Every structure is written in C-alpha cells, then in structure tokens.
Structure 1
C-alpha cells in the first residue's frame, strides 16, 4: 500500500506511506469533499503519457509525485502492481489523484457515496 485514505470532517485526506512521502514530496494532502468530483478504477491510466514530472520519482513501474500535462497537474502515487484509483478534483491545485490503495473498489464506493450524500 502506497497511501492511506480517510474521509474526516468533509475532507478527503491522503497520506503517502513510508518512502513515498519522500519520493512524492508530500506528507499529507487534504481536499474538501465539495471539490471531489468522483472516483473510478482505471488500470489503463498507467500507460498514458504523464507529462512533465516535478517534483517526484519515476522508476520502472512506480510513479510518485506531481506531473503536469496540458496545463493540468496530477498527483501520482502508484505502482504497476496496484489497482489505480483515479480521483477527479475541481478548484484544486491537482486535477486528479492517481493512487494505489488497498481495497480500491471499496474506496471508490466510499468516495462516490460521500459525494452523493453531501449533494
């Protein structure tokens, strides 16, 4: 697992684990649930052009940090062996979060249910 996720006080909280904090240059990311548009599982995203990396780490089959592509910034913290969860954001520094999570399907449901509950 590369990340711990939680939803607390109407905030989505992402905490990279272990060395991923160093590699991604992020200890913790927080986003108001009102700015979370939805979550999906997308294994094909690992094969797309990611753009310009910085700061972050890219080694074979591991992406951790910030990538900018077509003027939009995405936060990646995932390995190829994991199921990638894509979280779409609005009005935030990042347009998307691409995360490796334990229980990926359950987290997609939790995030999408929290969004529907709030609206």
Structure 2
C-alpha cells in the first residue's frame, strides 16, 4: 500500500511505499513536482487492463502488480494488490512516469487531496 502526501511549500507530491511494497516496487518513495501532476481518479477497473512490459518490479497475475511498466509508449508505475483501492495519478511533462497506479487506504480522500493540491491560490 502507498501513502500519498502533498507538500505545497516544496511543491511536491510524495508517494511512500509501506512494508513489503518497497520490495515489490523496488522503491521506497517517489517525489513528483506538483507542476507535473494533472489529476487523480479512483479506478478499480484499471487492474483488468493490460500492464505492458515489466521493466522492473513484480507481477503475479491476480495478486500484485508493482514497479515500472511500459505500455504503448506510456511509462507507468504500479503498486496494486487490491484493485478496489486503486488510484491513478496522471502526470504531464513527467521526467520519469506518465501515470502512477497505486493502492491507497482511502481512495476518495487521496483523490480529493491530489485534486485540492492542483488549485492555485
């Protein structure tokens, strides 16, 4: 599972991986500039879509998809065991990924957090 947080002062969206997810994803955290975040959606159905070519990470069909994947020219980062809790974070001008697909404890709250971070005061 991942913890998503926003630091508006530093202009960063941070995704921290918990427990064994660090092993499955080969990462402990991702930091994405808020300027590169386009939005987020709760999308349980994405787990049924093709993942593409695994570049680094873990995939056991029906159990876990984690790590870096390439699909039709798109760079994806996955960390999902329970598709019902999958959140997709869309990125623009991304240096490393086009989309992050992560499992979170509360998908609605995470989507709201990301969407609020995009509003300019």
TM-score, length basis structure 1:
0.92
Distance 2:15 2:76 in 1: 14
Total equivalences in the alignment: 117
| 1:39-118 correspondence runs (5 A) | 39-59=40-60, 60-80=62-82, 82-92=84-94, 93-117=96-120
What's the RMSD between the two structures over aligned residues?
A: 1.2
1:24 shift after superposition: 0.7
Partner of 2:45, secondary structure, is helix
Distance 2:51 2:83 in 1: 18
List structure 1 segments (4+ residues) > 2 angstroms apart after TM superposition: none
| 1:16-35 correspondence runs (5 A) | 16-35=17-36
Moved more, 33-42 or 19-28: 19-28
Gaps of 5+ in 1: none
Partner of 1:116, secondary structure, is coil
TM-score, length basis structure 2:
0.91
